[in-house]
Structure 1
Amino acid sequence: MSIYEIIMLLCFGAAWPLSIYKSYKSKSSRGKSASFLVVILLGYVAGILNKFFYNFDNVIYLYALNMIMVATDLVLYIKNRRFEG
């Protein structure tokens, strides 16, 4: 388990709750990019697969938490995009 990997995931993960909250409250997709969210989501999937196949430790839960938050923001983006027409 690497302390640097943990710090990285905590720092990246700190931004997602605010992003999700803004998406939920504003009901707008403005300022968001679905392709950016998908790329970030794929990065977290790759991190989880790496932990699963090569170096399993508890950091996998931080990857999973971050992935869930990004997926939530992506779902809100899609939902809000539909409302915008």
Structure 2
Amino acid sequence: MAELLEAIMLICFGLSWPLNAYKNYKAATAVGTSWQFIALITAGYFAGIAAKFVSGNLNWVLVVYFINVVCIAANWLVYFRNLRLDAQRARTVVAEEEALIVVA
């Protein structure tokens, strides 16, 4: 029963990550995204996986942990993509401002 409850908790968390990655992908900005939060969640998943190995309780729930790690990895990819897009936009704004100064 404990394994089922653990799996339900992981599935609930896990379902939120693809939705979050999609939302952030569509937003195309890292503004408002907390890398610290993503890092804490990532560390939590790895701690859960380590606990399974340390306790010797290797069961089917471990698969759910690994699926969640894949989902959180997608969030990291989107976060770094969005950082790159934000930097590109900032360079464009600076270039446009410099062009206006030269013209004036």
Please indicate, yes or no, whether the TM-score normalized by the shorter chain is above 0.5. yes
CA distance in 2, matches of 1:51, 1:64: 12
The CA deviation string for residues 29-51 of structure 1, in whole angstroms up to 9 with x for no partner, is 12210010011001001111111
Q: Aligned pair 1:51/2:39, yes or no? A: no
Q: Give the aligned CA root-mean-square deviation in angstroms.
A: 1.3
Tell me what 1:11 maps to: 12
Deviation sequence 1:37-84 (CA, Å, 0-9, x none):
011001001111111231111101111111111121012111101210
Structure 2 CA distance for aligned equivalents of residues 84 and 15 of structure 1? 24
Question: Matched residues, percent identical?
Answer: 39
CA distance in 2, matches of 1:50, 1:56: 9
Which residue of structure 1 aligns with residue 73 of structure 2? 71
TM-score (normalised: structure 1): 0.90
Q: Number of matched residues?
A: 85
**Which 4+ residue blocks in structure 1 deviate beyond 3 angstroms?**
none
Letter in 2 for 1:43: G
Equivalent residue number for residue 21 of structure 2 = 20
The CA deviation string for residues 4-32 of structure 1, in whole angstroms up to 9 with x for no partner, is 10110011111111111112222111221
How does 1:34-45 map onto structure 2 within 5 Å? 34-45=35-46
